[in-house]
Structure 1
């Protein structure tokens, strides 16, 4: 480079501009290889320790975008303070972006309309009503794609709210139970407000953030939200047993969410060996399998000997289990849910559920008719990743109880009007109910109808068969 005094000659300037442009393109073309390590680098600065209300009085303004950490790590006191300051200051048009959050979402109340507008990347019960009433938004998106919203500047956070463990002797805090998409928000956020809570477990992997990256630190001692394990009913227990006995091999890598059916599967795996966990989340039932030596992760091709997850929701026992435990690695969701990464795990077995499934194999998992209920989550990420399993032994599974508590069939002739198709009929392989197992891969429409009617509740099989004939113009056949 030619330099005269403090001035760069024109040819060199042109070269520098080209280099700068190339670097910008490289930064935008992120893949699962590119990690956001900047949060791990100590800076020569300290956060201002302050009350939650004072923090928002300093930085919250109309028209901003606020991103909040979710699941068990939901910083409820920060969100409550944000709501109070926004209302008191007569602010408007503040977007609050989040995945599943716990506790009351005060910023979605009717008296906050025009001040705050929630935008869910995966819905929880606390936002279903405002979404249904048009006061809140939802973005349909695969879990693995959410970080791209921040890295591609589609969502540009002004403020990101997190809940972290206290800093250790080196100044490192942990995002604890939720890494998921929040790390991507943090590295693209102008201001970071951290709720420092000793109840937050210290986890490893991508969870680490140095305290020097925090702008405002708020001390808090609120216990994390908890979801205890609910005893499953006999139908759910039967589904768990069917899956464990027929579809889960020794040495398999498992993905499963939270709920009675995943818990029932876990409870039925006590005689299995060398199981691994690679899942966007896991629940309490994993603890017993680890203690029994059933979950070792020794057969995994990636993160051998480690459980990999992206977020957690459970009870105190689960939070204590993951606290300061190197056996657990909490990673960003664009890595954990990447279909290529999933496909590399041995005997990858993905177990997911849904609202309803039609006789051709279309799966609705995010809505009840037109009413939005949850989101895409990681279902398609793992259904496809396990189907693409490099060892050819992956098992994509949809598990549902055959009928609702009201006695309505969950296997239906057609989905409810307006119902969203999360997993397409081409994605579907195994469907399991308490009545049996159906494998739809490679089946024609009438074969699919036959297999699904076979595992439907006996009270509905005749009506389903008639409906199938009306729809397909031929009888279902094996």
Structure 2
């Protein structure tokens, strides 16, 4: 069957497409590069016609015009599941709101609890069989589109086509409206310069890697550093199972280190839910049979992760207290990012035979006045707890690595103080004593 005629029948301008949105509707932009830029611009132009329209998205680099055009929220309210740097600024200005979540449950939220009138998403061009690929947003997109009353797809010629395990495509018969238009190429994700502390933490974690390990790396200085260390090492035949594929994996594959050869779950395939990185990464991942994109309800399921032997998970946090509670998403009450998949992979790697899960952080930070503070705190006082103390495994700073599995409160206090900056250790001991979590025979 030729689906070109059906495509033409469903083709509309962005301005025509957004006329399907009514007062009080809930609209979804999916995630990251799935952001429908042309549709967002057209919807923002309808501001004076609409009231109380809510939009969900996450990890969007912006600009999100429906958020920027209405600071009163009388017409539009933008809500994000996980803050990008841009969305963090929107929240800071009161132009957006954060939705707490755990990524593995994202599909379930839509399936069981949420109202969704219109889903709008960017996709690569349709193939000859009438399918559109979910591309870099496969991890969250399928359930969103299934639950929407109306599905509008925006064709973006720059998006890669990514092979999948399941739920990586939608057929034109399940699409209501299609829009086209020109899009600028995707800009590279800005890369920070690794600090001496970043390098020290990466070197502390590196000895825990072995041939044939399957690794979960996020995005940022730490995964890039670890990727470089692994690429330059004698370690080989690594596997990939990650919620987010970054340039670190591409570099490992190009250096012959990432083969997925010994994975006992989907061997030969690097599994991911989302992709964020450089234009070179999108080119590498396009129609690459080495990669399988799957929903995060599968990728981030701790039971699935637990089936992968020698699974190593690397995540970062902002601060940790002496009880082992982890804050990975807020500075005080200011939302920085989100829970993401940290909890999923911490739990899953703990299940896995030979698995290890690391939480990484610098032992200190400097405030705007140049004063130094410890990121290892006596206790939290208002910070948002991303990971409960019962789920934390290895903790790594520039001063060492400490395994908290099965440790009592006094053992946790001792171990964390030992990897704190030395200038804060005596103060932390005094706080631990006051909190009755310091044993008299502890090392001083």
User: Do these two structures clear the TM 0.5 threshold for a shared fold by scoring above it?
Assistant: yes
Are positions 1:386 and 2:349 aligned together? yes
The total of aligned residue pairs comes to 429
SS at match of 1:426: helix
After superposition, residues 438-453 of structure 1 pair within 5 angstroms as 438-453=402-417
Q: Pick from 117, 133, 141: which aligns with 2:77?
A: 117
Separation (CA, whole Å) in 1 of partners of 2:187 and 2:117 = 26
Are positions 1:302 and 2:302 aligned together? no
SS at match of 1:179: helix
| Paired residues of 2:318 and 2:375 also in contact (CA < 8 A) | yes
| Paired residues of 1:166 and 1:197 also in contact (CA < 8 A) | yes
Q: Pick from 362, 366, 379: which aligns with 1:414?
A: 379
| Cross-structure match for 1:234 | 196
Separation (CA, whole Å) in 2 of partners of 1:444 and 1:197 = 53
Are positions 1:432 and 2:396 aligned together? yes
Are positions 1:268 and 2:229 aligned together? yes
| Cross-structure match for 1:38 | none
Bigger Rg over Cα:
1
SS at match of 1:305: coil
| Cross-structure match for 1:29 | none
SS at match of 1:55: helix
Question: Can you list the C-alpha shifts for 1:6-40, whole angstroms capped at 9, x where unaligned?
Answer: xxxxxxxxxxxxxxxxxxxxxxxxxxxxxxxxxxx
Gaps of 5+ in 2: none
| Cross-structure match for 1:159 | 118
Are positions 1:66 and 2:66 aligned together? no
| Paired residues of 2:119 and 2:148 also in contact (CA < 8 A) | yes
| Cross-structure match for 1:14 | none
Q: What RMSD in Å do the two structures reach over aligned CA positions?
A: 2.0
Separation (CA, whole Å) in 2 of partners of 1:48 and 1:188 = 20
| Paired residues of 2:33 and 2:136 also in contact (CA < 8 A) | yes
Structure 1 position 45, deviation (Å): 4.0
| Paired residues of 1:175 and 1:208 also in contact (CA < 8 A) | yes
Are positions 1:280 and 2:280 aligned together? no
Structure 1 position 142, deviation (Å): 0.9
| Cross-structure match for 1:354 | 317
After superposition, residues 26-65 of structure 1 pair within 5 angstroms as 45-46=6-7, 48-57=10-19, 59-65=20-26
After superposition, residues 73-92 of structure 1 pair within 5 angstroms as 73-85=34-46, 87-89=47-49, 91-92=50-51
| Paired residues of 2:414 and 2:438 also in contact (CA < 8 A) | no
| Paired residues of 1:43 and 1:213 also in contact (CA < 8 A) | no
Structure 1 position 400, deviation (Å): 1.0
Report the CA distance shift for 1:296/1:264 in structure 2 as closer, same or farther (over 3 A): same
SS at match of 1:472: coil
After superposition, residues 5-44 of structure 1 pair within 5 angstroms as none
Report the CA distance shift for 1:260/1:50 in structure 2 as closer, same or farther (over 3 A): same
Structure 1 position 449, deviation (Å): 1.2
Structure 1 position 48, deviation (Å): 2.2
SS at match of 2:66: helix
| Paired residues of 2:107 and 2:143 also in contact (CA < 8 A) | yes
| Paired residues of 1:131 and 1:138 also in contact (CA < 8 A) | yes
Structure 1 position 208, deviation (Å): 1.9
Are positions 1:93 and 2:58 aligned together? no
Are positions 1:465 and 2:429 aligned together? yes
Separation (CA, whole Å) in 2 of partners of 1:267 and 1:148 = 36
| Paired residues of 1:307 and 1:329 also in contact (CA < 8 A) | yes
SS at match of 2:435: helix
Structure 1 position 132, deviation (Å): 5.0
| Cross-structure match for 1:146 | 106
Are positions 1:193 and 2:152 aligned together? yes
Structure 1 position 225, deviation (Å): 4.6
Question: Can you list the C-alpha shifts for 1:383-424, whole angstroms capped at 9, x where unaligned?
Answer: 0001011x2x11011011211244321111112x22111111
| Paired residues of 1:70 and 1:102 also in contact (CA < 8 A) | no
| Paired residues of 1:66 and 1:161 also in contact (CA < 8 A) | yes
Report the CA distance shift for 1:167/1:401 in structure 2 as closer, same or farther (over 3 A): same
